[in-house]
Amino acid sequence: MYPFKFNAILKERIWGGTKLKEVLNKEATGETIGESWELSDVKGESSVVAKGALKGKTLQELSETFQEELLGSKVYETFGTKFPLLIKYIDAQKDLSIQVHPNDALAKERHNSFGKTEMWYVMQADEGAKLMVGFNQEVTKEQYQEHLENNTLTQILNFEPVKKGDVFFLPTGRIHAIGGGILLAEIQQTSDITYRIYDWNRVDANGNSRELHTALALDAIDYSYYKNYKTNYQELPNQITNLVDCPYFTTNLLPFIGELSLNHHDKDSFVIYLCVKGNVTLSTETYEEQLKQGETLLLPACIKNIKVMAKEASELLEVYIK
């Protein structure tokens, strides 16, 4: 077992742009590449190992072959060989549709799927860029429906100006949308279940609107109002800072320069590293791997000690399951 890099799965989207190619150096062609799936076990979209002795194997095959060695015994007991997280980089050149994701119970009942709790880490934002998360006031289901029917939904939505380093945690039920001009990393449960609520009255080249899931969304939405939707944290150089700690994943930020030794003996889980800034060398006793901005690496649960080294100021997101 060694630290795994996977081939990116690039997705063309109506709202996508060129930052995945221009900023993150993805091998993308086309002007509307919206998503790079870095680590996926979504059915029919399983990531493929990019290098090393197991090059060409899928994440699904690794999970089935190595089980606890790769996943950790607790993760394996809970999820079996289904890899529980989906990791993406997203480039929104235009606003995404306003959407919501169902919780585990609803997703299981309707789609035989997990729900989709997720988080965003903003890597770059154009001047004036905003994203939409939650409501800006207390709302009832009936009031929400009224605004939807009257095409005034945006009046009750919370829009947030964003900058690099901003973090948003999105539990299931919280309505949200990435705004145009934002490049971010997204960490989420393995699920591709999305209910599209509002799509800015957009049509495609043939004059067709995208499908909306108005009825399905009604029972999935959390209509509560919260005073703050952004995660507050203090970034400290060469120290691990916790960003999100939820039942589905824990995410930490590690800004550093120089060399650090990281010990994972307290974790019974794989660890994922996303390089969100700079250039990092990650090494085990027997293997060394380079991780540049926009690249992602999966560290098997059986590897407990690693060293990370950066000659320039760099930042890693560290993701695992408690």
Considering the candidates 13, 110, 174, 196, report the single residue annotated as catalytic.
196
Secondary structure (H, E, C), the chain: CCCECECCEEEEEEEEECHHHHCCCCCCCCCCEEEEEEECEECCEECEECCCCCCCCEHHHHHHHHCHHHHCHHHHHHHCCCCCEEEEEEEECCCCCEEECCCHHHHHHHHCCCCCCEEEEEEEECCCCEEEEEECCCCCHHHHHHHHHCCCHHHHEEEEECCCCCEEEECCCCCEECCCCEEEEEEEECCCCCEEEECCCCCCCCCCCCCCCHHHHHCCCCCCCCCCCECCCCCCCCCCEEEEECCCCEEEEEEEEEEEEEECCCCCCCEEEEEEECEEEEECCCCEEEEECCCEEEECCCCCEEEEEEEEEEEEEEEECC
Q: Reply yes or no on whether 174 is catalytic.
A: no
Positions marked active-site:
196
